[in-house]
Amino acid sequence: MAIKLKLNFWQIWNMNVGFFGIQYSFGLQQSAVNPIYDFLGASPDEIPLLNLAGPVTGLLIQPLIGAMSDRTWHPRWGRRKPYFFVGALLCSICLLLFPYSSSLWMAAGLLWILDAGNNTAMEPYRAFIADKLDEEQQPIGFQMQSFFTGLGQTLANLSLFIFPMIFIGKTGSLPTWVYASFFLGAVCSIGSIWWSMKTTSEIPPTPEELAVLQSHKGGLFEPLVEIFSAIGDMPRVMWQLALVYLFQWYALFCYWQNSSKSIALSVWQATPQSNPAAYEQAVSWTGLVNGWYNVVTFLTAFLLVGFAKRFSPKAVHAFCLLLAALGFLAFPHIENKNVLFFAITGFGIGWASMMGIPYLMVVHEIPKERYGVYMGIINMMIVIPMIIQNVTFGYILKHFLHNDARLAITFAGVLLLCSVLCTLLIKSKSTVLKDN
């Protein structure tokens, strides 16, 4: 195995800048796409199915890209970088086109392509950290990605608040501010990836590792065989984490799909149909609220590294999930729009943990030569709950929650409490970093 040199803070910073662009795009998907669906006439119970793009493309693409990148090496382009670049380029093109959506199904189709690009870029980035950094520096590497997650999504959400004040009126079927937000996302996506590719080299394989790579024929079904083989060999801690993720990610999709409509009901007593102007104000305020939780994320991301070393990743993640759950349970009952920032702060801390701490629970039990495929499998554990949510939650929302977005947020809070309990049940030899 090639020797991993110690990197300084700014070298780790530069290698993760590209994650900023990926997460700016993801932030737009969280906060802007569902209001766009509302503007184009979607009913509340249609929203979950319209969000199938993200989890399905993640399920199909990330493990395949992970397995393929494990078997890739180019003397000039490296192992993971070609996938960063192709994914970011695809994202930028889709972000440029998205505001021109003239119908609900055009927007949904572009979201599928956008998510394919995001997933192509995101999974190799997780493996890139494990490739480049030694065991001691991996915690700061993963939490640096959490920092850039918060920063990218903060700016994406702030654009929803600031741009409507600058870009007034409509262009085509959508408000003009949508164009500005998505065009900025296109620049951030390709620009930040370019910076990381330019400033950070990959570690070349040793002659022995290169011989192993060249021995693989690269057949069409080889990545699929590798995925199923890796699932069969998966460490027990990953199965335990999958149960946590089932509740955690189902809950998050409930929040992202319903946050703007919940705020519209609790603060403005409006729906997209009853008062479109008030709903547009609620969407703008939701951008500010979601921007705040991402500010909390990048302010707390590095603090969690120290807590994880002092206590354990499991304890830190459980506590952060509890804060997020309490925030969700309070959120739909708040009628003062300014008090929403206090409720969502708990989710900001939880989101900082979700983006980095779970990887510390499993990375030490994953074979180094299979980092890519296992990071892809972890993403499968994220997207399968999302697919379940997309398929089932429309029915739950319509028949049990009366299409009330406030009840959807409460439901999300209860699910996060379930994920706290599942986290506490995890048993792993790697959950106490301070003993390493």
Distances (CA, A) of 66 to 127, 128, 243, 245, 369: 8, 10, 22, 20, 11
Please report where in the chains the tokens 């705020």 appear, as a residue: 263
Q: What mean pLDDT comes out for the span 325-351? A: 96
Q: Which of 368, 427, 374 is nearest to 237 (CA)?
A: 427
Provide the pLDDT for residue 224.
Answer: 72
| DSSP secondary structure code for residue 172 in this structure | T
Report percent pLDDT > 70 for the chain: 95
Q: What mean pLDDT comes out for the span 23-37? A: 81
Mean pLDDT of the chain: 85
Kindly tell me if the per-residue pLDDT of 242 is higher than 80.
yes
pTM of model > 0.75: no
Q: Which of 150-154, 233-237, 260-264, 327-331 has the lowest mean pLDDT?
A: 150-154
Rg (CA), the chain: 21
Kindly tell me if the per-residue pLDDT of 435 is higher than 50.
no
Helix locations, 233-339, DSSP H: 236-268, 276-310, 313-330
- CB-based contacts of 5: which residues, under 8 Å, 6+ apart? none
Provide the pLDDT for residue 220.
Answer: 53
pLDDT digits (tens, 9 = 90+) for 147-199: 887 788 888 878 877 888 888 888 777 788 888 889 998 999 899 999 988 89
